[in-house]
Chains A and B, each alone.
Chain A
Amino acid sequence: MVNRLWPRLTLIALALGLLLALPVSIAIDDDFRTPSGPWNGRELPLKPGSVLRQELPVAGRVIRVLHLELGQLSKPQAGRLEVQLFRADDEGWTKLATRTVALHDATKVVHKLRFKRPLALKGSKRMAIVVTAPVQLARPVPILTNAEWQNPGYALSVDGRAVPGTAQVLIGYQRRQLHVATALPRMWKRVTVFLGPFGKSLFAIGGALVLLGMLAMALTWHREPRASKPHRSDPQTGRLS
């Protein structure tokens, strides 16, 4: 009995070790996503040669990803939109990055622009997303906006003229990269935001039940006997042969 117990306990310990070593990233700032209404948003046609500018407050320290939503293109076209990010500082606007968005896939609506080297905002309070449609484009490109939503600090304009609403974007801020073992205190803090003492005790009881149940299962649900070929039964009587 003892001889069979140790291999199983070792396996359980290894499994736990693997779990604790898993990488985890935790949000440390609040990503911003433009709210959408019951409809899917209003399309703002960006003509060839036009420039759209969306200013918005900064809600984090380092940007890791930007999502830009376009409306449904009637058909694919050659050419790329230019997307630039700026941060505001005492001297004006400082460019952070430039990316391009291809328009050859008419079905693609959400364009995700990842920044391999995350963009540090260095204490700036405001940022701007500038989308430029090159003059060579054959047709206007529809930029998705929420025409009804415009909070203080958010300003949308096309070719310098103010436009009501806010472009449909998502700004993803950098996350803390850890392993489960070292991330446990942060994870606990995040997932228990709504939990008072009673909720936390339910959490603890639930976790303990799962661990104990799995331990009991591993220790008592022994190896299955080797499955034999099923017996054939007499179709008339149903008796096994």
Chain B
Amino acid sequence: MKNDGASITGASVQGSVLRDLTIVFALGLGVRLLWAVLTPPWTAPDEPPHFTYVAHLVEQGEIPHESSQETHPEFSEEMLESWQHTFFGRLSRAGGQAKAELAYLPVHHDYRAARRHNRAPELRRTRAAVSATAYPPFYYLFVSGGYSALYERPILSRLYAVRALSGLLGALSACFAYLLAYELRRELRFGRAVGLSMALFPMHVFITASVNNDAAVVLASTILCWLLAKVLLAEALSARLGAAIGMAAGAILMTKPSGVPVALLAGALLLWRAFPIRRSPLQVHTPNLVSLSTFALTFLSTAGAWNVYRFTAHASAEAGADTQEGRALTQFFSPAGHSFLEYLQYEFELGVGYFRRILIGTYWGNFGWLELPLPRSTEYLILASYGLALVGLIILVREQASERRKIALLACLLVFNVLFLFIAADYAFGFASTGAGVGMQGRYFFPTLSCLLCLLCFGLARIFARLRFNAAILPVLVGFVQLISLRLMLSRWYGVHIW
């Protein structure tokens, strides 16, 4: 192999990076297209409400919102009939039962009715978008292109088209994960390893190959993580970089709140670069201040535009304290609710198994409506790799001072994301008023998946530094878990058991 070091010209490195990105994108998109068509219809978390949002946009030409005037049903007649045809609720636990009724999709059944199911526009209308109604429209506007393109086709074709576009966003996330790793280590092998790992990460593949706005928030967050790496390592910042960060942070707020921690850290990092606390605390670095200003400007114009529209156009139902954010803040500070101390005690009593289920189980792979987990032995393998990577990271930061800031950035993003969501979502939205959590899932932490993969890759590569292909350990592990996941999925839903 050609050395990745300084002997390579800039043009050839750029060529290699572009080629690598093409390969990562192709693999990421290919795997997601396969999952998009293999996952039975509606058998992904919250897919019906998200698809309803898309349909509402196209069929009724408006962003869904709660309105007392609306007489249409929650879910369209067309979708409800499709559920019957596709055994939704019988194939999965989404119907509320303790166990799915069907062992797999019936062998002796005529599926033509399911494939051809297509109803007139008046039977596709909905009141709003059920539980997805409050979400910003960025993701849905993008994927609605697939729905519109196949408007005359059966509902399942429209579903697969929307899933395919969602998968496109997921594949792009893998490309930016590549760029993040390459930005930090300036070696193609790390970029390839992290890009490939994200392209094949089982739960990310499954979620982004379904209709779910996680695909957009993870893309925007991964872009932002990459840009933050540039901020960390740049001598001075530019207005262009500030604007890019502002747009990425604004895009997060226009997709889903789970990326907010990354946006917050972006602002904090820019502030720190603009006003560095050194021997002269009042010292201001002008170029960085310009960058901070362009960040603020672009952030406010992107996220702000949506919020202004939301509070003016849908003012009657969503203004003031009726907003989700208003309720969360009220509950957080309300003395009448459950205290944060009670929440900590509640979490402690849930035990290690609860956190393992969220941070490993539903993070790496729990398919369907969280009823098809990876085998326990696979989880142990993942935990072992976490342990080894942690040791590797400790050795790395002790040996190489130049890597400490990079590892610190990744760790801060990861830890802050986890803590913020537990406190802001699980406590503020749930426990503070009800005494129970909101039901945390691993995919809520996907905005910093690229950071985790970088840490795992760097740590494992260091611990196995003597091996020739030490950077390839992580993608091999992820690829192995991907194969296990595919096997599990084929067995559970189709009765096809490989090995």
Question: Chain A interface (Cβ within 8 Å of chain B)?
Answer: 22-33, 35-41, 170, 172, 175, 180, 183, 187, 190-196, 198-200, 202-203, 205-214, 216-217, 220-227, 229-235, 237-238, 240
Contact = CB atoms under 8 A, between A and B. Distances in A.
Contact of B154 (A25, A193, A196): A196
B161 A206 contact: no
Interface in B72-130: 86, 90, 96-109, 111, 114-116
Nearest to A172: B103
13 contacts: A30-B108, A31-B495, A35-B90, A187-B496, A190-B495, A190-B496, A203-B38, A205-B30, A205-B33, A206-B31, A224-B1, A230-B465, A233-B400
A214 B97 CA distance: 41
Given A35-B101, A199-B37, A194 B470 contact: no
A168 B31 CA distance: 37
A192 B385 CA distance: 36
A200 B160 CA distance: 10
A16 to B, nearest CB: 14
B102 A27 contact: no
Given A26-B496, A32-B103, 14 more contacts: A29-B108, A31-B495, A38-B96, A39-B98, A41-B98, A175-B497, A180-B498, A194-B86, A206-B30, A209-B30, A224-B470, A227-B465, A231-B400, A238-B401
Interface of B: 1-4, 19-20, 22-23, 26-27, 29-34, 36-38, 40-41, 86, 90, 96-109, 111, 114-116, 150, 153-154, 156-157, 160-161, 164, 189, 192, 196, 396, 399-402, 461-462, 465-472, 490, 494-499
A36 B96 CA distance: 10
A198 B111 contact: no
A193 to B, nearest CB: 4
Contacts of A238: 401-402
Contacts, number: 194
Q: Which 9 A-B pairs have the closest CB atoms?
A: A27-B495, A206-B33, A209-B30, A222-B1, A213-B27, A210-B30, A35-B101, A31-B103, A238-B401
B86 to A, nearest CB: 7
B86 A27 contact: no
B33 A226 contact: no
B15 to A, nearest CB: 11
A202 B1 contact: no
A187 B498 CA distance: 10
Contacts of B1: 222-225
A190 B26 contact: no
Nearest to B158: A198
A76 to B, nearest CB: 24
A207 B164 contact: no
B30 A202 contact: no
B30 A207 contact: yes
A38 B95 CA distance: 9
A223 B30 contact: no
A199 B400 contact: no
Nearest to A236: B401
Given A27-B107, A206-B31, A216-B23, A224 B468 contact: yes
B402 A196 contact: no
B495 A175 contact: yes
A235 B404 CA distance: 11
A30 B106 contact: yes
Nearest to B464: A227
B34 A210 contact: yes
A192 B462 CA distance: 44
A131 B219 CA distance: 56
Given A180-B498, A227-B468, A233-B399, A222 B30 contact: no
Given A29-B108, A30-B108, A224-B469, A230 B401 contact: no
A213 B30 contact: yes
A30 B494 CA distance: 10
A202 B33 contact: yes
A37 B98 contact: yes
Contacts of B153: 196, 198
Contact of A240 (B37, B111, B402, B461): B402
B495 A26 contact: yes
B497 A195 contact: no
Contacts of B40: 194
Nearest to B483: A19
A227 B466 contact: yes
B2 A35 contact: no
A206 B29 CA distance: 7
Contacts of B154: 196
Contact of A24 (B29, B161, B496): B496
A148 to B, nearest CB: 11
Contact of A214 (B27, B103, B161): B27
A206 B34 CA distance: 5
Which among A38, A224, A231 has the highest number of chain B CB atoms within 10 Å? A224
A195 B108 CA distance: 16
Nearest to B38: A191
A142 B30 CA distance: 49
A83 to B, nearest CB: 20
A110 to B, nearest CB: 10
B465 A194 contact: no
Which among A183, A194, A210 has the highest number of chain B CB atoms within 10 Å? A194
B463 to A, nearest CB: 11
Which among A41, A216, A222, A231 has the highest number of chain B CB atoms within 10 Å? A216
Contacts of B469: 223-224
A35 B494 contact: no
A213 B468 CA distance: 23
A231 B499 CA distance: 45
Which among A25, A175, A200, A202 has the highest number of chain B CB atoms within 10 Å? A202
A27 B400 CA distance: 55
Given A33-B101, A202-B36, A24 B27 contact: no
Contact of A190 (B22, B157, B465, B494): B494
Given A202-B36, A213-B30, A196 B101 contact: no
Contacts of A202: 33, 36-37, 160, 164
Which among A31, A193, A196 has the highest number of chain B CB atoms within 10 Å? A193
Given A206-B34, A207-B34, A37 B105 contact: no
A28 B104 CA distance: 11
Contact of B462 (A32, A183, A208, A230): A230
Contacts of B160: 195, 198-199, 202
Contacts of A235: 401
Nearest to B16: A220
Contacts of B164: 202
Contacts of B495: 26-27, 31, 175, 190
